A and B are shown apart, each in its own frame.
Chain A
Amino acid sequence: MKNKNYHYLSYRVFYMILALLTFIGCLLLILTVIAISENKFFFILMIGYLLFFAAFYKGYRWICLPYKETSKVLRLFAKGYTLQGIYELRFSFCPEMEDAIKKIKTIFNTNELISATKKQAQYLALQNQINPHFLYNSLEGIRGEAIAAGLNSVAEMAEALGNFFRYTISNVENLVTLEDELMNIENYYFIQEYRFGERLNLSIEYDCEDRAEVLKYRLPKLTLQPIVENSIFHGIERKIGKGNVRIKIQATPKRLIITVSDDGLGMKEERLRELNEKLNIQSFDYVKPDGEKKAGIAIINVNNRIKLLYGEKYGINIYSTVDVGTDVEITLPRIIEEGKEL
């Protein structure tokens, strides 16, 4: 692997420029010696030095800095940190590279990825409903209620289940209002309440003045439900005693911030680091049908959908501490009408 750097054109160009600069520097040095010994040519020497430094400075600003910027973006792309970054490169190495990136963009079709993540979201949401535990527990709830002869509550639960299935299956591709999404969460909580009873408590807080307006903001369907579900099943289910899930909603002129917090078991530092790395690095390996099922897939899916739809500046952040709980912060653009980002 000796002299591997010569393989790259950038290194070849760099070495050529270095050689050229050294040559010009030597020429100037010789001219300086002549000028001092002959006691003339000082004006030419001064102009020579000025031009040399001006060319050096310009070269630094024109070539060195943009090169560093582009190579940094490419490096981050290679590591998976950015996808959008390479589409928005300010300086390409050559026109062919620009065309190549355009081609990559078409091959790496964002729309297809979005639709894959949507299907994955739908699949994940449904998978849990088909899950025998879910059905068993739900039916247990119904049975228990029936034994207690309170038929109204049986009807209520059946209705809640129906609504939940309907919301989950229909129009996943559309944006929904925050109000609809929260209603689905309340419905989901209503179902879970039968299982957890007083052990589970859900609260929704609005940290904004105009609550009615905030409820009209739009967000991708099934953004909140997988996160609340994770809070309940990974945070509160195995916890001894009561558990609280809190959804906090904040809005700024350009963003909608939703924080889902639970006071459950929390997660270990290594697991949290692993999850946050997956949230930062855009990878779609989990979409593959043969992919191993792991906790946290739903959150990664939601995060990827948000990033693909709105860009890297939006997405999910997780804070968690063992035996304290987990906070999932979802950042979305403030959208009032479908397709209109503020």
Chain B
Amino acid sequence: MKEEIFRLERVTQIIDGVTLLDNFSMHIFKGEIMGLLCINAHGKEALVRLLCQNVPIHYGHVYFRENLVNNYEHSSMSMNPVAVIEKQSRLVEDLTVTDNIFVMRRGFRKHLIEPKKLNSQFRRFTEELDIQIDGDRLVSHLSFFEKCIVEIIKAVVARVKLIVLRDISNFISATDLKKIHDIMRHYGMQGISFLYICNHHEEAFKICDRISLMENGKVLKVLNKNEFRDEMITPYTLDFSHIDSPSLSNASKNGILKFNNISTENITHMSFTVEKGECVVLLDMNNTILTDIMKLMQGETKPLSGDIFLDGANYTKKSSELKKGICFIQENPIQSMLFQERSYLDNLCFLVDKKLPHWWLNKNIRKSIIQEYEPLVGEDIYSNDISDLAPRSLYNLVYYRVHLHHPKVVFCMQPFSDADMYLRHHLIQLIDQLRKKNITVIILAVSLSDSLVVADRLLVVEQGKLKNEYHSEKFHYFRASQ
């Protein structure tokens, strides 16, 4: 008989007049890996909070191990034994791994800490999982993957019954994700339950026992393992296949960007060429080289060996002059690339003065920019306060800023990370807009997400080396190998 760990029964949560969870029901059995596929992000945050803490709800009941812990009549505000693992780690960065796991936990009462003993205890876990992490290392020195492992072990040590993994593929590479999945299965066998929250059904299908599809804080459907088929998901998703993707012109074969035998601390003898107007995905299977590539292109570091050529000119030697031809779109750009205190138009024109100094003195240029971009972004272009705009409008702003600047190459760091389905669909359209202007797009990613929908070519990098190259007509070989 299956033991039930968590159950939310017809939960409705309304905050500030907004219904975050709408008649939401879900149950998770002991040792089960339950998936939560979010069509949009509405209600996701509220759900995670409700799992962790018994906060007031408008209606419904919450049970933990079949005992009522929260209901519409009375919410105790008590905490549930639930751990949440997401990009923003909950570990103390300046403490060691063992201190975080054993000392920083509820119920630790010892006055003397014995690092050797804690280390040997920690080794038992790493040996069991076949993972190499030194217990004495500071958490700040760990990679995202290692932090994720440490948080899982910490949850196991704290006897947590449910571990929520939230969008981990956004920051963990494909190879490491497989290891995490193995660890989840290992602890699932030991009776720990998991709630695996993600945005892609392909990812959820690989690991979950059941999947709940959620949209606007409401469960649309619960899929059992035998229903894990693409056609079961299709009615709930937007059609990405009919997007009118600009095709690559055959005339341009000179290579706009060339990496010639480049080596850095993490990159080993990497050579590739990207054609003008092409969209290339650089998939880093181990999440080691993306920062190096960004630093090389931003001119922050020099390669140990090799050269980079941009449109025939040596970029490594003249990076300060050639930088104008390159643009970067960071991960979560609406948080890191916009100036909240400036107007929409100021933000949009931020890169223009690189090409046209003192342009802002000329009112005619402003007028013509508004004329050109108003049909694309709408009334938002007149907005003086961008903090009120929806994420979709802010993404428009980021991408059309690059569109207006018209660089030769744009690097997009994980463009689809943390984006719900509607936003991903919109991002694909924005990337297409860049490509229609013949801008070369290079997507740097640790997980594929929807990158292949827009890509002409996929470059797979493993352990810092270029392992494989797939053209669009052969993407299915790569998908099959995953």
Q: A: which residues have CB within 8 A of B?
A: 69, 72-73, 76, 81-82, 85, 88, 90, 207-210, 248, 250-255, 257, 276, 280, 312-313, 317, 319, 321-324, 327, 329, 331
Complex CA distance for A81 and B3, rounded to whole angstroms: 29
Jot down 23 A-B pairs with beta carbons below 8 A, ordered by A: A69-B73, A73-B73, A76-B59, A85-B72, A90-B74, A207-B2, A209-B1, A210-B1, A252-B1, A252-B2, A252-B3, A252-B27, A252-B66, A253-B3, A280-B10, A313-B61, A317-B25, A319-B220, A319-B221, A321-B221, A323-B235, A324-B232, A329-B222
CB-contacts of B42-97 with A (<8 A): 59, 61, 66, 68, 72-74
The reply to whether A248 and B224 form a contact with Cβ atoms under 8 Å apart is yes
The reply to whether A321 and B236 form a contact with Cβ atoms under 8 Å apart is yes
User: Chain A contacts of B224 at CB under 8 A?
Assistant: 248
CB-contacts of B24-50 with A (<8 A): 25, 27, 29
Complex CA distance for A54 and B29, rounded to whole angstroms: 45
The reply to whether A251 and B73 form a contact with Cβ atoms under 8 Å apart is no
Q: Is B264 among interface residues, defined by CB-CB distance under 8 A?
A: no
The reply to whether B221 and A327 form a contact with Cβ atoms under 8 Å apart is yes
Q: Is B9 among interface residues, defined by CB-CB distance under 8 A?
A: yes
The reply to whether A321 and B9 form a contact with Cβ atoms under 8 Å apart is no
User: Chain B contacts of A207 at CB under 8 A?
Assistant: 2
Give 18 A-B pairs besides A254-B66, A321-B235, A324-B235 with Cβ atoms closer than 8 angstroms.
A76-B59, A76-B72, A81-B72, A85-B73, A208-B2, A209-B1, A252-B27, A252-B66, A253-B1, A253-B4, A254-B4, A255-B66, A280-B10, A280-B23, A313-B61, A313-B68, A323-B235, A329-B222
Known: A280-B10, A317-B25, A319-B220. A255 touches B72 (CB 8 A): no
Complex CA distance for A331 and B63, rounded to whole angstroms: 14
User: Chain B contacts of A85 at CB under 8 A?
Assistant: 72-73
The reply to whether A72 and B3 form a contact with Cβ atoms under 8 Å apart is no
CB distance from A239 to the nearest CB of B (A): 14
Complex CA distance for A130 and B9, rounded to whole angstroms: 37
Complex CA distance for A276 and B1, rounded to whole angstroms: 29
User: Chain A contacts of B23 at CB under 8 A?
Assistant: 276, 280, 317
Kindly count the residue-residue contacts between A and B in the assembled complex, taking CB atoms under 8 Å apart.
Answer: 71
Q: Is B219 among interface residues, defined by CB-CB distance under 8 A?
A: yes
A-B pairs, top 4 by smallest CB distance, nearest first, are A252-B4, A324-B235, A254-B66, A317-B25
Q: B: which residues have CB within 8 A of A?
A: 1-4, 9-10, 23, 25, 27, 29, 59, 61, 66, 68, 72-74, 219-222, 224, 232, 235-236
Complex CA distance for A72 and B10, rounded to whole angstroms: 17
Closest to B23 in A: A276
CB distance from A263 to the nearest CB of B (A): 10
User: Chain A contacts of B68 at CB under 8 A?
Assistant: 313
Complex CA distance for A313 and B232, rounded to whole angstroms: 30
The reply to whether A319 and B73 form a contact with Cβ atoms under 8 Å apart is no
User: Chain A contacts of B235 at CB under 8 A?
Assistant: 321-324
User: Chain A contacts of B221 at CB under 8 A?
Assistant: 319, 321, 324, 327
Complex CA distance for A323 and B232, rounded to whole angstroms: 11
Closest to B67 in A: A254
The reply to whether A81 and B66 form a contact with Cβ atoms under 8 Å apart is no
Known: A327-B221, A329-B25. A251 touches B1 (CB 8 A): yes
The reply to whether B59 and A81 form a contact with Cβ atoms under 8 Å apart is yes
CB distance from A291 to the nearest CB of B (A): 24
User: Chain A contacts of B61 at CB under 8 A?
Assistant: 312-313
Closest to A68 in B: B56
Complex CA distance for A319 and B220, rounded to whole angstroms: 6
The reply to whether A90 and B73 form a contact with Cβ atoms under 8 Å apart is yes
The reply to whether B74 and A69 form a contact with Cβ atoms under 8 Å apart is yes
Complex CA distance for A64 and B34, rounded to whole angstroms: 39
Complex partner residue of A72 from B4, B29, B73, CB under 8 angstroms:
B73
Complex CA distance for A253 and B1, rounded to whole angstroms: 7
CB distance from B211 to the nearest CB of A (A): 13
Complex CA distance for A317 and B10, rounded to whole angstroms: 8
Closest to B2 in A: A252
User: Chain A contacts of B73 at CB under 8 A?
Assistant: 69, 72-73, 85, 88, 90
Complex CA distance for A327 and B222, rounded to whole angstroms: 8
Interface centre among B1, B59, B220 (most CB of A within 10 A): B1
User: Chain A contacts of B10 at CB under 8 A?
Assistant: 280, 317
User: Chain B contacts of A329 at CB under 8 A?
Assistant: 25, 222
User: Chain A contacts of B66 at CB under 8 A?
Assistant: 252-255
CB distance from B235 to the nearest CB of A (A): 5
User: Chain B contacts of A321 at CB under 8 A?
Assistant: 220-221, 235-236
CB distance from B153 to the nearest CB of A (A): 28
User: Chain A contacts of B3 at CB under 8 A?
Assistant: 252-253
CB distance from A331 to the nearest CB of B (A): 8
